[in-house]
Amino acid sequence: MTEPQKTLAFVVYPGLTSLDLVGPLQVLSALDAAGPEFRTVVVGETLEPVTTDSPLRIAPSHTFDAVTDPYAIIVPGGGVPTLQALADRTLIGYLARAAETAELAASVCTGSLLLGQAGLLNGREATTHWLFRDLLPAFGATPVAKRWVEDGPVITAAGVSAGIDLALHLVERFAGTEAARRVQFGIEYDPEPPLGPLDWSDVPEDLGSLRELVLREGLAGRPELRAKLLARA
Amino acid sequence: MTEPQKTLAFVVYPGLTSLDLVGPLQVLSALDAAGPEFRTVVVGETLEPVTTDSPLRIAPSHTFDAVTDPYAIIVPGGGVPTLQALADRTLIGYLARAAETAELAASVCTGSLLLGQAGLLNGREATTHWLFRDLLPAFGATPVAKRWVEDGPVITAAGVSAGIDLALHLVERFAGTEAARRVQFGIEYDPEPPLGPLDWSDVPEDLGSLRELVLREGLAGRPELRAKLLARA
């Protein structure tokens, strides 16, 4: 008897932040090459390429309907389009249904807000992009300022690049420390940010207005959603 | 009078490593949002989506023919398909022609071998993915074990994830330190590799056989290219 293959489903929607998706996809797709136990897929409502926040357009490998029983779902975040996607019933419905039987629901950046909208963060600790962390209580979650937060079957990462760290952690969890080490050497992940680590005591001032812009545009025409999100922020 | 717009052209081909492309694309496309001075595009031989080494398929935004005078070219690397691409005359021809007038030719990972094949590394210091660094002398280059290496108009990065560091450096070069700091906060780039930095005194043994496999499959049927690459390795 062979074990059924475990499907890691990356969930895409128009306007997502491309690195939120591709960082962890690069890392976790290394499990495909290691043997038949895992396969990674990119699922969307249709197979049509979706736009992202960069000039990249991404073609899903499968539709939501074709991947109904994934082992894990991983959902990327973004700016305005991700807030708009909170009202996308097809997307949120897919996340909620897939999570019922999945072993793991994961998010990168503001993807955690989508998990929250699907009802998956209630009573859990979670994180998201630092600019939007205070929105998490709207979904019954307790915000935590960590690179990633694991709470039972739900694991959420901080902003954008944190998806790489989360994915290496998942490789270790799924396939062991040696496998994670091999992947880390494979992607030569030995970061040297040219300006050093982030200095949280000196956050660029104009990012606050970026936050306001994203909230205003992303929630335009959705006063109930806006009230829900900002009630406790 | 307005200055002509500066085009940053990410060059794609079938089988590339997706994070080599998307890491720097995410970072540099932030320059688009900052004003009209820069635009980032994804150029391919045709507009058809190209495969990558992950389940991701990537649709170019422009063809090579439509972007003949970029300000910069940035070429990602990969495994077997990148070595095969050394014999792709259309791709190599585009890199060589575009570099004639471009201010900058950049690469991530084994993308530097493609720059080398286009004649752009002769007499220069350069780097590439650590497993393939000894191939650089075949193109007249001096290998350097650094995260990125800048030599005149050519800048090459180490493996895969190094493209993010290189791109932040380029944002600083193009738009200044404050702009680079904003982008770094935007992508929350404050890396925490779960297993810590790479320990170069303890490289996983089986990666040597991966190197041999990539060279064997990538150069199959190309004995002259194989001889050229390995003559000085």
Task: State residue A37's pLDDT score.
Answer: 92
**CB-CB neighbors (< 8 A) of A10 in chain B:** 55
Q: Which residue of the set B19, B43, B109, B157 is catalytic?
A: B109
Q: In sequence order, what E strands does chain A have? A: 6-11, 38-44, 50-51, 57-59, 62-63, 72-75, 104-107, 125-126, 142-143, 148-151, 154-157
Nearest chain A Cα distance for residue B153, angstroms: 19
Cα–Cα distances in angstroms (integers) from residue A154 to residues A67, A102, A145, A161, B160, in the given order: 19, 10, 16, 19, 28
Q: Express each pLDDT in A96-118 by its tens digit.
A: 999 999 999 999 999 999 999 99
- Which among B58, B159, B195 has the least Cβ separation from residue A187? B159
Q: Are residues B122 and B171 in contact, defined by beta-carbon separation less than 8 angstroms?
A: no
Q: Is the pLDDT of residue A14 over 90?
A: yes
Active site residues of A: 109
3-state SS class at A208: helix
Closest-CA residue of B relative to A157 is B188
**CB-CB neighbors (< 8 A) of A194 in chain B:** 165, 168-169, 172, 180
- Which among B29, B40, B190 has the least Cβ separation from residue A198? B190
Q: What is the pLDDT along chain B (233 residues), one digit of tens a residue?
A: 466 799 999 999 999 999 999 999 999 999 987 778 999 999 999 999 899 999 888 989 999 999 999 999 999 999 999 999 999 999 999 999 999 999 999 999 999 999 999 999 999 999 999 999 999 999 999 999 999 999 999 999 999 999 999 999 999 999 999 999 999 999 999 999 999 999 999 999 888 889 999 999 999 999 999 999 998 77
**CB-CB neighbors (< 8 A) of A5 in chain B:** none
The residues near A179 (Cβ < 8 Å, ≥ 6 apart) are A31, A34, A171, A172
Which of A132, A146, A161 to probe by mutation at the B interface, max B CB count within 10 Å?
A161
Q: Are residues A19 and A53 in contact, defined by beta-carbon separation less than 8 angstroms?
A: no
Split at pLDDT 50, 70, 90, the class of A3 is low
- pTM here is 0.96
B59 contacts A191? CB cut-off 8 A: no
B193 contacts A191? CB cut-off 8 A: yes
The Cα B55–Cα B52 span in angstroms is 7
**CB-CB neighbors (< 8 A) of B61 in chain A:** 55, 57
Nearest chain A Cα distance for residue B26, angstroms: 6
Task: State residue B4's pLDDT score.
Answer: 75
Cα-to-chain-centroid distance, residue A220 = 23
Q: How many CB atoms lie within 10 A of CB A32?
A: 18
3-state SS class at A49: coil
Q: Are residues A55 and B29 in contact, defined by beta-carbon separation less than 8 angstroms?
A: yes
Closest CA to A176 of B195, B88, B120: B195
Q: Are residues A67 and A43 in contact, defined by beta-carbon separation less than 8 angstroms?
A: yes
B191 contacts A165? CB cut-off 8 A: yes
Q: Which domains can be identified in chain B, with CATH numbers?
A: 6-191+204-230 (3.40.50.880)
Query: What is the sign, positive or negative, of the torsion defined by CA atoms of B52, B58, B59, B60?
Result: negative
Q: Express each pLDDT in A122-139 by its tens digit.
A: 999 999 999 999 999 999
Longest Cα separation, chain A: 59
**CB-CB neighbors (< 8 A) of A129 in chain B:** 188
Nearest chain A Cα distance for residue B87, angstroms: 24
Task: State residue A2's pLDDT score.
Answer: 61
Q: Are residues B35 and B178 in contact, defined by beta-carbon separation less than 8 angstroms?
A: no
Task: State residue B3's pLDDT score.
Answer: 66
Q: Express each pLDDT in A33-85 by its tens digit.
A: 777 899 999 999 999 989 999 988 898 999 999 999 999 999 999 999 999 99
Closest-CA residue of B relative to A16 is B26
What percentage of chain A exceeds 70 in pLDDT? 99
- Fill in the DSSP letter of residue B52: B
Q: Express each pLDDT in A205-219 by its tens digit.
A: 888 889 999 999 999
Give the ipTM of the model, two decimals please.
0.96
